[in-house]
Amino acid sequence: MTRLDGKLSHFANPLAHKDNQYSAEQKNILSVANSISAIADIKTWPAYAETPLHSLSQLATDIGVGSIFYKDESQRFGLKSFKALGGAYAVACQLQQTLANKLGSKPSVDELLDGSLKAELAQITISCATDGNHGRSVAWGAQMFGCGCVIYIHKDVSEGRKQAMQAFGAEVVRISGNYDESVRLADSEAKAHGRIIVSDTSYEGYMEIPKDVALGYTVMLAEIVEQLETKIPTHIFIQGGVGGLASAVTGYFWDLWGDKRPRIIIVEPEQANCLQLSAKAGKPIVVDGNLETLMAGLACGEVSALAWEILKNGADDFLTLSEDTIAPTMQMLANSFDGLPSIEAGESAVPGLAATMLASQDKDLAAALGLTDQSQVLVIGTEGATDPELYQQLVHG
Is 19 among the residues known to form the active site? no
| DSSP string computed for 202-215 | -BTTB-SHHHHHHH
Helix/strand/coil for 86: helix
Cα 49 to its chain centre, rounded Å, is: 18
Tell me how far CA of residue 327 lies from CA of 43, 85, 269, 350, in angstroms. 34, 26, 14, 9
Is 7 among the residues known to form the active site? no
Would you say 6 and 356 are in contact if contact means Cβ atoms under 8 Å apart? Answer: no
Three state DSSP letters for 220-252:
HHHHHHHHHCCCCCCEEEEECCCCHHHHHHHHH
Q: Active site residue: 41, 62, 72, 131, which one?
A: 131
Residues 6+ apart with CB under 8 A from 282: 15, 312
Would you say 247 and 306 are in contact if contact means Cβ atoms under 8 Å apart? Answer: yes
Task: Tell which phi-psi region holds residue 110, choosing left (phi > 0), alpha (psi between -120 and 50) or beta.
Answer: alpha
Q: Name the packing angle between helices 83-103 and 133-145 (round to 10°).
A: 40
Q: Active site residue: 80, 83, 162, 312, which one?
A: 83
Would you say 268 and 236 are in contact if contact means Cβ atoms under 8 Å apart? Answer: no
**H helices present in the chain, as ranges:** 24-29, 32-42, 57-63, 83-103, 109-113, 118-122, 133-145, 159-166, 179-193, 209-228, 244-257, 274-281, 305-314, 326-334, 351-361, 363-369, 388-396
Helix/strand/coil for 303: coil
In angstroms, rounded to a whole number, what is the distance separating the alpha carbons of residues 360 and 59? 11
Helix/strand/coil for 10: strand
Active site residues: 83, 131
